Structure 1
């Protein structure tokens, strides 16, 4: 992994020779908002939560990312859009270390990936799958695993239990805390996974298609959660199938095409992946949370 690169001011990024030409995307109107990551005068700017530079990666021997640049600043909400197979999920898996880079560099909170150890600062929600993978477990037990990075498998303390209760309350699942996850609906499973990511009170929240296949109520719960997390300064990276109820929260959209950045800037107006070339509606399930986030 390369040495630390001094953080530049956030700006539209892309690739030089590998990015295919793309037609301009219409930008939606945005309401005035405090710039993400804004600091008091005279205070040095905080390092980006994510800086992925000229990333090249393969999955199963097949090239997927072909020189992707991606920056997520403190308190910024960035949406990854693109057709299936464009590299969205591979990009977030590269960020959390589940897919190794063949070339390029990754920094998390200003630290090169190879030296990064503060995994408790990152909350990750994979593509929707069952919350327990067939293992008998209660809602509380699943969410509690999100506290493991806080104490390295030590005994649970009162503040851990309180954090679990707060996360469950935030997603509207506190009354189901002692229920088995096997009896939950798809939207409720998703809420449990979101609570597991929130329980560590992360500084960076990464979600891979959190809106896919969930009911309208769960979508609105997610929008409310993200609004609160952004309000406390959490950076958010979302793989989205469409903007939907989250549209007003998005600061930037990064559109991928064939493993390259085709657009980095204001979100396209009232479109999502549906309007991008080559879109289909297949949403394969992702692997469980990578070991690094539970270490």
Structure 2
């Protein structure tokens, strides 16, 4: 994948994503209170935490949808304000209507994610092949000509992921990819993500619980009230028991461990 200037200088030890002391507000309400977060090349990092903890806001500051009031953000070693190689980044928002209410086919929605890789918006053979590959990856090739308005929630999510993958990004950012998705689609999405990880894609994703993605996660970063509560190995349990903040000490915990206070998930 081509790039120019400082955006080509990122080395193996340089984070693909680096947030340092990032603060942000929504309206007059502080949402992020000095976040430090790094994601290394090829790493899969899950952002966990209760509703309102700042997970989605953190994601949206990275892609520029929410302005920061303090701190710095870098992508591939370049300050985000100067970053221009957005074809290197694939973004999957929280599940919504894939076409935003506008009549469109599955192919049309996925193709929109390829525009950054085309010249003047003209699709060539390689671009059309990339759209087909992305649809095959998420198991939606048989619905290519269907209207997205005829899809189930899980199928919508597959289309959004295909739209992010079609530009062949080096970094994939996903906000609640499993929320409200049926089990069959969860398994498809887990398999798709596994293939991307094997290919070397760096992944940052927001999750409520690890679920079928647990084997892929290298690190878990837990937020509470806009602060990092935990940054380290992912918990092995799923659901509420997976997160620091669950108010009990497990039998395998050291004897001098104090219970972590409740509140993270309530």
Band of TM-score, shorter chain:
0.7 to 0.9
SS in 1 for 2:208: coil
Match for residue 251 of structure 1 among 218, 226, 243:
218
1:102 is displaced (CA, Å) by: 0.2
* TM-score of the aligned structures, taking structure 2 as reference length: 0.86
The within-5 A match list for 1:143-182 is: 143-151=110-118, 153-182=120-149
1:223 paired with 2:209, answer no
The equivalent position to 1:142 in structure 2, one of 96, 109, 134, is: 109
Q: 1:156 aligns to what SS in structure 2?
A: coil
Residue 88 of structure 1 corresponds to 55
Query: Which residue number in structure 1 is paired with residue 254 of structure 2?
Result: none
Contact 1:240 1:273 in 2 (8 A): no
Q: Which residue of 2 aligns with 1:104?
A: 71
Residues 241 and 272, structure 1, Cα contact 8 Å, conserved in 2: yes
Once residues 147 and 86 of structure 1 are traced to their aligned partners in structure 2, the CA distance between those partners, rounded to angstroms, is 33
Please say if 1:279 is aligned against 2:265: yes
Q: Any idea what SS the aligned residue of 2:139 has?
A: coil
Measured on the aligned residues, the alpha-carbon RMSD in Å equals: 1.8
Aligned mates of 2:146, 2:24 — CA distance in 1: 40
For structure 2, the 5+ residue unaligned runs are 1-5, 246-262
- C-alpha distance after superposition, 1:140-186 (max 9, x if no partner): 00000001111264211111100000000000000100000000000
**In 1, distance between residues paired with 2:105 and 2:81?**
35
> Match for residue 248 of structure 2?
none
Given the superposition, is the C-alpha separation of residues 273 and 59 from structure 1 closer, same or farther in structure 2, using an over 3 Å criterion? farther
Are 2:62 and 1:62 aligned? Answer: no
Instruction: State TM-score, norm by structure 1.
Output: 0.78
Contact 2:14 2:76 (8 Å CA) reproduced: yes
Change (3 A) 1:273 1:79: farther
Whether contact under 8 Å (2:224, 2:264) holds in the other structure is no
Aligned residues: 240
Deviations 1:180-206 (A, max 9, x none): 000000000000000000000000001
Q: Could you tell me which residue of structure 2 aligns to residue 75 of structure 1?
A: 42
Structure 1 residue 273: deviation in Å?
A: 5.0
Contact 2:24 2:68 in 1 (8 A): yes
Deviations 1:119-141 (A, max 9, x none): 00000000111101110000000
How far apart in 2 are the matches of 1:182 and 1:174?
A: 16
2:253 corresponds in structure 1 to none
The answer to whether structure 1 residue 203 and structure 2 residue 170 are counterparts is yes
Instruction: State the match for 1:262 in structure 2.
Output: 229
* 2:46 and 2:217 in contact (8 A); partners too: yes
Distance 1:155 1:183 in 2: 28
C-alpha contact (below 8 Å) 1:126/1:208 kept by paired residues:
yes
> CA offsets, 1:88-144, max 9 Å, x none?
000000110101110000000011111110000000000111101110000000000
Return closer, same or farther for 1:53/1:90 CA change in 2, 3 Å cut-off: same
1:60, distance to aligned residue in structure 2 (A): 1.8
Higher relative contact order (CA 8 A, sep 6+): 1
Unaligned stretches of 5+ residues in structure 1: 8-36, 38-43, 281-295
Whole-angstrom CA distance in 1 between matches of 2:59 and 2:50: 15
